[in-house]
Amino acid sequence: MTTESTPPAPAPEADTVFGPTFMQNPYPSYDVLRTEAPVGRHVVKTLASEVNAWVVTRHEDVRALLADQSLSKDALGLPRIIERHALHPDGSAGSNPRSMLFSDPPDHTRLRRIVSKAFTMRRVEQMRPWIEELADDLVEDVVPGAEFDLVEQIALAFPIYVIGALLGVPVSDFADLRRWNGVLTSVRSTAAEKREAVGLAYGHLAAVVEAKRKEPADDLVSALIDAEDDGNRLDGGELISSLFLLMNAGYETTANMISSGVLALIQHPDQLGRLRADPTLLAGAVEEFLRYESPLNLATIRWTTKPVQVGEVTIPADEIVFVSLCAANRDPAVFADPHRLDVGRTRNQHLSFGHGIHHCIGAPLARLEGEVLFGRLLSRFPRWELAVPADRLVWRHSLQFRGLESLPVLLS
């Protein structure tokens, strides 16, 4: 076994591995990386900056690192790590919101337990009738045989209405939430634009919290205000950060799952027919959509607090590590015929919701949304077609989010 006690030669240029061609179809590159360099150092363009980082691609290694608590996600330490590894450090690296996503135990344990008291399976199931009604309304608005953008009209609209209703945010605010989220998740947004969007979103959520303190309702914001664990409650900053996390995590990734799943079925007409013929496959099909195109390409940023052994490589302390969910979900060591969509796939050990203590708390809601919406689309429209050639579809220029810019389709 060989180890590396110091970083290797400078990382390759960004476009040699993770360039524009990669964004359109990352899987050929990931197939090579899993075989030749499953733990390698590259230039990665995050939502904040370009950094030298380690990228891990094998399912076994990704799963292990997702659960390895010697890798930190603490918001307080993040600016120092980004500045150390940024290609063009300028001292402006900011901190992520201090939520359970960007915290380590014991803070993470406390925050997650309190949020879990409010964000329960019971609350999600109580929303099912409303989610079904919303899906019916969105599908009814589709004109059979007329071209429309499924990303804009359904994939983005559906989850923002769901998460907005769950939080208790007025419908009139949804357009602002979508606009701010778009700025925050785009690599084309400037640092100033992102700071402005965060400030506006935080200010808006603070106003929502203040209103709910005065007039509580049966929604998640009111529940989080009252939630406690062993006498502990979320303080003001933790409450706003938790709402911000739930708003973004419950929106962007679900939208990507919907649009990617529709495209996958169009490109695999045999699986579309199979699913329409046997609706009992729907729950498993949603899991397969999540595996086939993970809504997140790279999981959120982590860094080593001590040397970590990954296969035959030792990653030193204070190094940025990204684990690729897309690569892990198509690892042939775990998934038979991994590049083929199979709505009847069993033992689907995909990692799209993460693993370990940071496993997505909103996974049950995302699954419910997927089952309901795909069920409605399948029952109403027998024929699904792309309205443009497949090679004209554009995937978002992001190494962290895996989603389509638009999806022009004909449903008839």
Question: Following DSSP, what letter does each residue of 101-129 receive, concatenated?
Answer: GG--TTHHHHHHHHHHHHS-HHHHHHTHH
pTM of the model: 0.91
Q: 15 falls in which pLDDT band (50, 70, 90)?
A: very low
Q: What is the pLDDT of residue 19?
A: 72
The residue among 90, 84, 65, 64 whose CA lies nearest residue 7 is 84
Structure token digits, residue 162:
């769901």
The confidence score (pLDDT) of residue 178 equals 76
pLDDT of amino acid 16:
52
DSSP class per residue in 135-147: HHHHHHTS-TT--
CA dist., res. 160 & res. 148, Å (int): 19
Residues 109 and 99: their CA atoms lie apart, in Å, by 11
pLDDT of residue 309: 97
Task: Give the pLDDT confidence score for residue 93 in this predicted structure.
Answer: 53
- Say if residue 91's pLDDT is above 60: no
The span from the CA of 84 to the CA of 91, in Å, is 10
N- to C-terminal Cα distance for the chain? 58
Task: Judge whether residue 89 has pLDDT over 80.
Answer: no
Assigned token pair, 79 = 């600016």
Q: What is the pLDDT of residues 294-344, one digit of tens each?
A: 999 999 999 999 999 999 999 999 999 999 999 999 999 999 999 999 999
Residue 324 DSSP label: B
261's tokens: 């799943």
pLDDT digits 0-9 by tens, 94-150 = 555 568 899 999 999 999 999 998 888 898 999 999 999 999 999 999 999 999 999
Summarize the confidence of residues 176-191 as an average pLDDT.
76
Phi, psi of 116, deg, nearest 5: -65, -25
How far apart (Å, rounded) are the C-alpha atoms in residues 38 and 30?
9
132 touches 238 (CB < 8 A): no
DSSP 73: -
Confidence of residue 198 (pLDDT cuts 50, 70, 90): confident
In the chain, what's the furthest Cα-to-Cα distance? Answer: 63
| Summary mean pLDDT of the chain | 89
- Predicted local confidence at residue 193, as pLDDT: 86
Given a contact cutoff of 8 angstroms between Cβ atoms, the answer to whether 88 and 52 are in contact is: no
pLDDT of res. 236: 87
Range of weakest confidence among 63-77, 205-219, 338-352: 205-219
3-state SS assignment for residue 252: helix
pLDDT(361) > 50: yes
How does residue 182 score in pLDDT terms, banded at 50, 70 and 90?
Answer: confident
402 three-class SS: coil
